[in-house]
Structure 1
Amino acid sequence: MQCPAAGAKKVRATERKGTARSSPGHRPQGRLTGRITVLLAVLSIGFLSSAALAEKPNEIDRRTLDQGLAELGSNLEGLPETAKAKTDAAICFKALGWMLRHEEWARKTAVRDALNIIRIGNERIKRLQAGEPAVPLKPGKHVLAYQSAVDESLQPYAVSLPEGWRPGESKRWPLHLVLHGRSNDMNEVSFFASHDGKPPVKDSNWIQLDVYGRGNNAYRWVGETDVFEALADVKKRFLIDERRIALWGFSMGGAGAWHLGLQHPDLWSSVGAGAGFVDFYDYQGISEGLPEIQHTMLKIYDSKDYALNLYNVPVITYGGEFDKQLAASLAMLDAARSVEVPLSLLIGPGMGHKFDDASLKTFMAFLTAHNEKGRPEFPGRRALKFHTYTLKFNKCDWLRIEEQHEPYVDSEINSTYADGMLQVETHNVRALAVARGVADFVSIEVLPKVALAEAAGGQLPDVYFVQEKNGQKENNGWRMLSYDESLAFIDNEHAHKRHGLQGPIDDAFTQPFLIVRGSGTPWNANIDRWAHSERNRVATEWDQWFRGQLRVVDDSALDEKDISSRNLVLFGDPGSNAVIAKVIDNLPLKWTKETITIGGKMYPAGDHVPVLIFPNPLNPSKYVVLNSGPTVKADEYRKSNAWFFPRLGDAAVLKVDASGATPVWSTIMNSDWEIEK
């Protein structure tokens, strides 16, 4: 069966029943030793607390695992600082430690896999002690690791090197970036067991990166950051042709391929989305709308709303004939047709939630063909149709949407090109940047043409344009910025919403961040108890669900380096937390011992607490967050990956009582970080 979109490349699926088959950078390596010491202390706590889980190790096995973990940690601490890629050995220690602490024994081979990780770790350490690489790279699959800039945690990924790969060669290889499906028994140890030491992907002429994604979060938020951090690490270690990177996945991985593929369409030579959800309401079978703020927040990750971006990257989607997730592929097909962009669809005859062999072969042939062709070199395609709802996803090839008139309202760019002239039409775009070398001339709507080579003195790689509400009427408000104006715009001295500084609260936890706890006298004991409890809950859930540990400092220990490099997450009130007291007058609220005033409303401070995200008054290029971690809680995380969307927008007030905290008000700030009453 086959359903090509109008104008789409036709891809034929088998007609018989088939057999079943599913940038941030590094931290310095020198910080690893200190982190391992901390992990040793933390991981020694609570190991023998038990939950009656299947496949729990017996007493002898448990003693062996505890001893093995301690030995790994001790041996890692003894490695010289000059040892390269200690992350590749230390990840074994981290993997086992998290598994033991969280009692993760659901997998039938869990104990055997845990014992094996000790062996792998010790072998890697011995190589480092001998001055050799921890992992001797050769054709086959290897689990490697990097240290995340977000929280300094170690995160694994798997790389498959094809039979033709040789160390030290000068050839640049195409890459397949693969996103796994949801698995409730997945952890770092099982990830090792699934990949490390296995033969290379059969008949591959590419390097393959299988990301871990910090577990099961549909590659959203810090899971998305993991994709790009792992990709950056692979690019550092191997010669990758950046024009030939294919992205694909199945099930949860298919959902991830939809959103990463359509929201970053200029990164991939092609995208393959197998059986992945694209719309919250349809996927969850919910007919009643969510609260307004939450409904708006769905615009961040509902891929169906980004169908226009299919114009910029070739995409193939697959669904089994009897798989309920075929509905997602069909929904994307309808969305593609409605905006007249191509999409190739495969339907597996007689299949449920899996590939048939013939469809998989066609699916992979599509990716391989486009990978061989690669994305065009700069300036590439000058005709673009790019769509976004948030500045989190603001770039396509030579174009960046720098500011919106209204957040979470569709922003769109359409461009045409002829005879050296680039014509750009916009919707809900307040500022944009155009790469200087894309054309000889550019015109934004009715703005007279601008010679790009000479614009703004010809001194910056991009040319900036802004639209002012009360600007030149004859130019529809658009004007080009001069060189000095461009520098001021880049500095964002007025702290407008920009990419990486657009909210909501959850966005702060996709970047390097630091928890700052108060050490002073709280204004209200009730709120202080809640803040302490909430901070502990965030730390516990981050540890289990995002596979890292929060870095926490007292307000008195905060230093300039942290202020300059990290988002600050402040818990407490202006009495207990000196940093809150320092910034409170520059935040969009008034907080006294008696009342909290925000958004034109007043609340008693004795049983209410403000939570918000805002440009940090101490460093406006970073966020400050009050009294909140990620707004998705553990019980929601367990439901389905589709529930992994923000709950509170940019700011909220919570009422605190014995049962916890309940939102009584929330809002999304405008593009100038103002609360509109």
Structure 2
Amino acid sequence: MMNHYKIRSVRGLLIALLLVVAAASPLFAQSASDEDLAKIREQRAALDKSIAELDAQKIGPQLMADVQIYSKAADWIARHSEFYRENYAKQTLAVLELGQQRVRELAAGKSPWMTKIGTTARGYVSRVDESVQPYALSMPQNYTPGSNKAWPLYVKLHGRNGRMNEVSFIKQHDNRPPESGQDWIQLDVYGRTNNAYRWAGETDVFEAIADVKSRYNIDDNRITLWGFSMGGAGAWHLGLHHPSLWSSVGAGAGFVDFYTYQKQTELRPPHQHYLLHIYDAVDYALNADNVPVITYGGEKDAQLLASTMCVAAAKKYGVNIAQLIGPGMGHKFDPESLKKFMEFHRLHSQTGRPALPGQKEIRFITYSLKYNRCEWLTIEEMPLVYQPATVTSEIVADDTLKVTTTNVSALRVDPRISPNLIIDGSSISFEPPQTDEVVWATLVLEEGQWRKLTADQAARFAENPDLHKRHDLQGPIDDAFMEPFVCVRGTGKPWSQANHDWATWTLDRFSAEFDKWLRGKVLIVDDTQVTEEMIANKNLVLFGDPGSNSLLAKVLAKLPVQWTEDKITVEGVDYDPNLHGLSLVYPNPLNPRRYVVINSGHTMHEKDFKSSNSWLFPRLGDIAVQKFTRDEEGDQYQEETVFADVFNSLWHLPSGLKPAN
């Protein structure tokens, strides 16, 4: 039997181990000292004052963002107490000084970091939430300002790092020399920290790329995408969902699905199960036929399974994905494999992608109109939501391209690809473009036959008068937060005070979670402050009920629900608004090219962001009713989903999704 001394010793050892774990884990992060916090507040205020004194109009938004990232970094680390390491307070003060140095340089009419060899931090203002977001850019040793050379771009996605924030990211990349033999510009993406480049993290990747392209001469046909661990998951996701954007894709040790990676044996309900197809990259393995892909896993790494799964899934289509396995390695590259991995990218970067309109023969698959483009073709409509839509093409004669589709009812095609298409047996001909401005042709499937729309018909089609699901207008609720949005709170008298209080709590929760986990401040306005410009350019996210929120009252008649003071009716079922909350996404009746969202932010929450990124999938589909229960303390709610579904391709219920099996 263990004596009391040994028990105390073991207990002491466990406590010591817990303290070590606590020191290493972001969940146990401590604030900086009062003295350091005071210095940070003082120096950030001084930096903000210096930035305000700059001539922003003369300097321009890009260079201003290159300075604003330093203030933003100090703001977020202090407000969220993210001093995960002992030196983070010191790093924050150093970052603020770097910001002041840039202010002095801009005030003198200079911006030396724009041409500096090696790595420097940059910034841009996101269209999503008007936040300033950082990225890092590495210029090669042979970079010459003013040269006409079109540079290849390597886009590198970082792995998950629970101690990462803007301060540590900037310091990690500050003044780093270029890699040996680097003959490309390298973009290290921040991705709004740790979300596997999903949601606004995905938008961040493309906004950062666009910002780099606007500053430097980048060769569009020579953009390499790669990453390791969470960066590998991001490479699988972005590489296979957008296959015609990259000269090659490299995925190291990143997950490719939810069920296998999380060892889940119980299926999610249909409105979650089918929506896993949005992000499960293994479902898009066919798209590796359109872009060279290489994957790596350590022999002893559990995440080697992800590589093996994708390789096997692609092989079923007769598609080859190059695979490297590090002998005896765990969750990291061995030197020889890394050398082969990067050589693969170098060779494909040298070759580059085919020039526009791209390669003629493609094989493309998608489960969502969010990811609807490959080379010269864009899928505009899918009859069945979250079912595979495929397009394949093959050359059958010098001037004829045979195209075969499944689950596709509308397409747009670059007419330069071929003068003659045979699409599912229908013959379509194109006249050669007479100008450099190419107008893509719109094709629709009607009664089993494809036909090309006239210019007037195509313009009418683009207006989407019948409210079909389209790209960026396909749901689910969470999709609304990948593009510009504004949250609108009601200021009137609620029909139900209980419902209004729950909606207010929901908005507060979304604002706090977006701030912490997606690194931006949610724009919130009163319903009386909504402008025509907001309606035209942003997704409207309305909180409250038709009594409290005048915008909700204005659009209610055109939403696919009924809502009175006494009941909320969805699919013929009545719910008590004093006990139930309604959440949905739908084309905005005030501007059908944008969404309106009712009483919801992201449908995954803090515990999911803290957990594996594979949990960051939609929870409520397009529409849900939740029973809410207020805690005894009165400041929190428990929610139970009593109804959830997705709309079909015409934004109607029922969706037609079958029980998951």
Is the TM value for this pair above 0.5? Answer: yes
Partner of 1:67: 42
Partner of 2:416: 437
Instruction: Say whether the 8 Å CA contact 2:568–2:574 is kept in structure 1.
Output: yes
Does 2:83 align with 1:83? Answer: no
Instruction: Say whether the 8 Å CA contact 1:128–1:134 is kept in structure 2.
Output: no
Deviation per residue, 1:193-213 (Å, 9 max, x gap): 110111112211000000000
Question: Using the alignment, how far apart are the partners of 1:185 and 1:167 within structure 2?
Answer: 36
Q: CA deviation at 1:587?
A: 0.5
Question: Using the alignment, how far apart are the partners of 2:474 and 2:511 within structure 1?
Answer: 24
Secondary structure at the residue paired with 1:152?
coil
Q: 2:371 aligns with which of 393, 402, 417?
A: 393
- The structure-2 alpha-carbon separation of the partners of 1:458 and 1:647, relative to structure 1 and needing over 3 Å to count, comes to same
Secondary structure at the residue paired with 1:282?
coil
Question: Using the alignment, how far apart are the partners of 2:315 and 2:200 within structure 1?
Answer: 32
Deviation per residue, 1:628-665 (Å, 9 max, x gap): 00111011111110001100111111112113322110
Partner of 2:103: 125
Alignment of 1:548-567 (within 5 A): 548-567=520-539
Deviation per residue, 1:93-136 (Å, 9 max, x gap): 00001000000011342122111111101101111222222735
Question: Using the alignment, how far apart are the partners of 1:54 and 1:604 within structure 2?
Answer: 42
Q: Quick one: which amino acid aligns to residue 420 of structure 1?
A: D
Question: Using the alignment, how far apart are the partners of 2:455 and 2:48 within structure 1?
Answer: 54
Question: Using the alignment, how far apart are the partners of 1:638 and 1:657 within structure 2?
Answer: 24
Unaligned runs of 5+ in 2: 1-25, 631-636, 656-661
Question: Using the alignment, how far apart are the partners of 1:542 and 1:108 within structure 2?
Answer: 26
- The structure-2 alpha-carbon separation of the partners of 1:429 and 1:525, relative to structure 1 and needing over 3 Å to count, comes to same
Instruction: Say whether the 8 Å CA contact 1:55–1:110 is kept in structure 2.
Output: no
Alignment of 1:185-204 (within 5 A): 185-204=163-182
Instruction: Say whether the 8 Å CA contact 2:138–2:186 is kept in structure 1.
Output: yes
Secondary structure at the residue paired with 1:260?
helix
Q: Quick one: which amino acid aligns to residue 304 of structure 2?
A: L
Partner of 1:638: 610
Q: 1:427 aligns with which of 378, 394, 406?
A: 406
Question: Using the alignment, how far apart are the partners of 2:266 and 2:106 within structure 1?
Answer: 57
Question: Using the alignment, how far apart are the partners of 1:55 and 1:108 within structure 2?
Answer: 9
Q: 1:648 aligns with which of 610, 617, 620?
A: 620
- The structure-2 alpha-carbon separation of the partners of 1:249 and 1:459, relative to structure 1 and needing over 3 Å to count, comes to closer
Q: Quick one: which amino acid aligns to residue 552 of structure 1?
A: I
Query: How many residues were matched structurally?
Result: 620
Q: 2:196 aligns with which of 218, 227, 230?
A: 218
Question: Using the alignment, how far apart are the partners of 2:106 and 2:435 within structure 1?
Answer: 52
Q: CA deviation at 1:249?
A: 0.1
Alignment of 1:500-519 (within 5 A): 500-519=472-491
Instruction: Say whether the 8 Å CA contact 1:456–1:483 is kept in structure 2.
Output: no
Alignment of 1:222-241 (within 5 A): 222-241=200-219
Question: Using the alignment, how far apart are the partners of 2:91 and 2:51 within structure 1?
Answer: 20
Q: CA deviation at 1:319?
A: 0.2
Q: 2:271 aligns with which of 293, 296, 301?
A: 293
Instruction: Say whether the 8 Å CA contact 1:86–1:134 is kept in structure 2.
Output: no
Question: Using the alignment, how far apart are the partners of 1:368 and 1:109 within structure 2?
Answer: 37
Instruction: Say whether the 8 Å CA contact 2:30–2:82 is kept in structure 1.
Output: no
Q: CA deviation at 1:434?
A: 1.1
Secondary structure at the residue paired with 2:601?
coil
Does 2:336 align with 1:358? Answer: yes
Deviation per residue, 1:205-230 (Å, 9 max, x gap): 00000000000000001000000000
Partner of 1:153: 131
Partner of 1:492: 464
When structure 1 is superposed on structure 2, of 215-224 and 371-380 the one drifting more is 371-380
- The structure-2 alpha-carbon separation of the partners of 1:173 and 1:538, relative to structure 1 and needing over 3 Å to count, comes to same
Question: Using the alignment, how far apart are the partners of 2:50 and 2:132 within structure 1?
Answer: 17
Alignment of 1:222-621 (within 5 A): 222-417=200-395, 418-447=397-426, 449-453=427-431, 461-468=439-446, 471=447, 476-621=448-593
Secondary structure at the residue paired with 2:471?
coil
Q: Quick one: which amino acid aligns to residue 568 of structure 1?
A: L
Deviation per residue, 1:80-99 (Å, 9 max, x gap): 12223111111100000100
Q: Quick one: which amino acid aligns to residue 276 of structure 1?
A: G
Partner of 1:139: 117
Deviation per residue, 1:569-602 (Å, 9 max, x gap): 0000000000000000000000000111112222
Secondary structure at the residue paired with 1:656?
strand
When structure 1 is superposed on structure 2, of 657-666 and 303-312 the one drifting more is 657-666
Does 2:36 align with 1:57? Answer: no
Secondary structure at the residue paired with 2:259?
helix
Does 2:652 align with 1:674? Answer: yes
Secondary structure at the residue paired with 1:521?
coil
Secondary structure at the residue paired with 1:167?
coil
Q: CA deviation at 1:452?
A: 1.0
Instruction: Say whether the 8 Å CA contact 1:218–1:253 is kept in structure 2.
Output: yes
Partner of 1:169: 147
When structure 1 is superposed on structure 2, of 539-548 and 286-295 the one drifting more is 286-295
Instruction: Say whether the 8 Å CA contact 1:311–1:385 is kept in structure 2.
Output: yes
Q: TM-score, normalised by structure 2?
A: 0.92
Q: CA deviation at 1:487?
A: 1.2
Secondary structure at the residue paired with 2:261?
helix
Q: Quick one: which amino acid aligns to residue 71 of structure 1?
A: A
Question: Using the alignment, how far apart are the partners of 2:27 and 2:444 within structure 1?
Answer: 61
Q: CA deviation at 1:480?
A: 2.1
Unaligned runs of 5+ in 1: 1-50
Question: Using the alignment, how far apart are the partners of 1:642 and 1:52 within structure 2?
Answer: 19
Q: Quick one: which amino acid aligns to residue 55 of structure 2?
A: P
Q: TM-score, normalised by structure 1?
A: 0.90
Question: Using the alignment, how far apart are the partners of 1:265 and 1:379 within structure 2?
Answer: 14
- The higher relative CO (CA closer than 8 Å, separation ≥ 6) is in 1
Aligned identity (percent) is 48
Q: Quick one: which amino acid aligns to residue 349 of structure 1?
A: P
Instruction: Say whether the 8 Å CA contact 1:55–1:111 is kept in structure 2.
Output: no
Deviation per residue, 1:268-314 (Å, 9 max, x gap): 00000000000111111111111221111100000110000010000
Secondary structure at the residue paired with 1:135?
helix
